[in-house]
Amino acid sequence: MAEDLVRFRNLLAGSAREADGGEWLESLDPATGKPWALIPRCTSADVDAAVEAARTAFRSPEWRGLTATARGALLYRFADILAEEAERLAQLETQDNGKLIAEMRAQLGNLPTYYRYFAGLADKIEGQVLPIDKPSMHAFTRREPLGVIACITPWNSPLMLLAWKLAPLLAAGNTAVIKPSEHASCSTLAFVELFERAGFPAGVVNTVTGLPQECGEPLVKHPDIAKVAFTGGEPGGIAVYRSAAENLKKVTLELGGKSPNIIFNDADLERAVYGAVSGIFAASGQTCIAGSRLLVQRNVHDEVVERLVALAGTARIGDPKLADTQVGPVTTLAQRGKIIDHIAGARQSGAECVLGGGLPTIAGLEDGWFVQPTIFTGVNNQMPIAREEVFGPVLAIIPFDDEEEALSIANDSPYGLAAGVWTQNIGRAIRMSERVEAGTVWVNTYRAVSFMAPFGGMKRSGIGRENGQEAMDEYLQTKSVWIDLGSPVSNPFVIR
């Protein structure tokens, strides 16, 4: 019964709001397959109200009149409150998207550091005095915020991926309208309640929830949105990019990947195998940086496969709310269907399934959306399982002979988000990091991220960078200012 479900509301101009039309959407628990909460089903009317609230706040003296140092102080205060609420938010996110509670505790425990980092950058935004070539002129530049930013986040790590957008845009002086995935909105709606406690002016942060066509598209197309910061799948990114181009909006797009994780014969194989398992089976493979293509040098291929199957075969699949669970469900029933289709397609292409490949039955969670950790060998780089993003716990292993072949296979992909290299040869590590076409290259590790390190993709994996000082540039624009100090009056019809 809907009456028994938890109801979450949007944040609009500092107040909790239901959808204008009074409609609701169910949010389902991936571990049980059953509804547990309701979120507002917003439409363009709700989008208009949220954008207007953000636009009003952007121009208000309560926000625009703050010094950069005061803006940073608000973010510091917010980070402290977030740290106090980390456990509650981790529990919500696990129930809403099925991610492991152990991983959510780690993510939420670390999340305040993102807001503190960008809080420290708020008053480091500087222009320049220009040694201008015009006599009697003084010229300088200012770095100013863009305005209202639309943040569109996916269902796999809503609060972490929101922080990558929200922390720098607020530090830069912008305001925001957040549209989380309809499949995992609850933790975001609980999270934004903290801004009032931190003392942020009403309207600086707002949310809309609902279906992409009903509120996501109107948000992207709204004339008062200055920029769209989007994380999600390639089709959604293309739709955002097309709409942004029509309306001359700026974009940051963090899209998909088919990341190569490359093991050379001189690697520490135990560490490499652990890195391979972490790269694909952590988060049930639902990460854009998943190391879903494992490239293994041929003369250690069989040993690596044997070790991988043995290790991955011990994975404890089950309730993500339990601290000792290692593989939880996938977040949506539709996504589980796509994963199963990819597994069937790999078999039809001639790949050999050496582990998993089916749907496990979990006692007490028979209706949950679980997929077994799955490993394929006998894969070549032209098979769909090696070219298409599965976004699930499915690993394709491809052998290679030498560095050149490894690079050829790794770079033969429309994507370029991330890559891993496992070797004890420092020269090889440098050569590979220079030549692999990816926005992030890890050597002898995998899935390491930080608020200090820029993150983003090459090729079809996206546009722009999140995290690090570069992220601030994504939410600022440069203004040139000229001041005439008393130059002689000249012919007004001639440009000097």
What does the block give as tokens for 419? Answer: 């890559």
Q: Residue 67's pLDDT is what?
A: 98
pLDDT one-digit tens code per residue, 82-132: 999 999 999 999 999 999 999 999 999 999 999 999 999 999 999 999 999
**Helices vs. strands in the chain: H and E counts, helices first:** 16, 23
Q: Residue 495's pLDDT is what?
A: 73
pLDDT grade for 409, boundaries at 50, 70 and 90 = very high
Percent of the chain whose predicted confidence (pLDDT) is above 70? 99
pLDDT grade for 177, boundaries at 50, 70 and 90 = very high
CA distances from 220 to 142, 290, 472 (A): 27, 28, 21
| 3-class secondary structure, 407 | helix
Please provide the distance, in angstroms rounded to a whole number, between the alpha carbons at the two ends of the chain: 74
pLDDT grade for 494, boundaries at 50, 70 and 90 = confident
Q: Is the pLDDT reported for residue 457 higher than 70?
A: yes
Q: Is the pLDDT reported for residue 1 higher than 80?
A: no
Q: What is the mean pLDDT of residues 373-394?
A: 98
What does the block give as tokens for 140? Answer: 């300088």
Q: Whole-prediction pTM value?
A: 0.96
Measured CA to CA, the distance from residue 164 to residue 158 in angstroms comes to 10
Q: Is the pLDDT reported for residue 492 higher than 90?
A: no
Contact 330, 156 (CB under 8 A): no
pLDDT one-digit tens code per residue, 280-295: 999 999 999 999 999 9
Measured CA to CA, the distance from residue 368 to residue 318 in angstroms comes to 9
Q: What share of the chain is helix, strand, coil (3-state, %, to 5)?
A: 40, 20, 40
Q: Among the options 18, 288, 437, 466, which is catalytic?
A: 288
DSSP structure class, residue 287: S
Active site residue 288: yes
pLDDT one-digit tens code per residue, 416-447: 999 999 999 999 999 999 999 999 999 999 99
CA distances from 441 to 404, 419, 433 (A): 17, 5, 6
User: Mean of the per-residue pLDDT values for the chain?
Assistant: 97
| 3-class secondary structure, 28 | strand
Q: What is the mean pLDDT of residues 133-145?
A: 96
Q: Residue 496's pLDDT is what?
A: 66
Measured CA to CA, the distance from residue 158 to residue 169 in angstroms comes to 17
Q: Is the pLDDT reported for residue 391 higher than 60?
A: yes
Contact 356, 56 (CB under 8 A): no
Q: Residue 2's pLDDT is what?
A: 66
- Of 154, 91, 20, 78, nearest in space to 9 by CA: 20
pLDDT one-digit tens code per residue, 28-55: 999 999 999 999 999 999 999 999 999 9
pLDDT one-digit tens code per residue, 327-372: 999 999 999 999 999 999 999 999 999 999 999 999 999 999 999 9
What does the block give as tokens for 272? Answer: 């490499």
| 3-class secondary structure, 364 | coil
- Of 14, 19, 13, 20, nearest in space to 39 by CA: 19
Characterize the bridge pairing of strands 352-355 and 374-377.
Answer: antiparallel
What does the block give as tokens for 366? Answer: 């028979």
Backbone conformation region of residue 331, classed left if phi is above 0, alpha if psi is from -120 to 50, else beta: alpha
Q: Among the options 103, 254, 466, 474, which is catalytic?
A: 254
- Of 411, 413, 409, 389, nearest in space to 399 by CA: 409
Q: What is the mean pLDDT of residues 467-487?
A: 96
Is 467 buried (19+), middle (13-18) or exposed (0-12) by CB count in 10 A? buried
Task: Please name the helix (run of DSSP H) or strand (run of DSSP E) that holds residue 82, with its range, or none.
Answer: helix 68-97
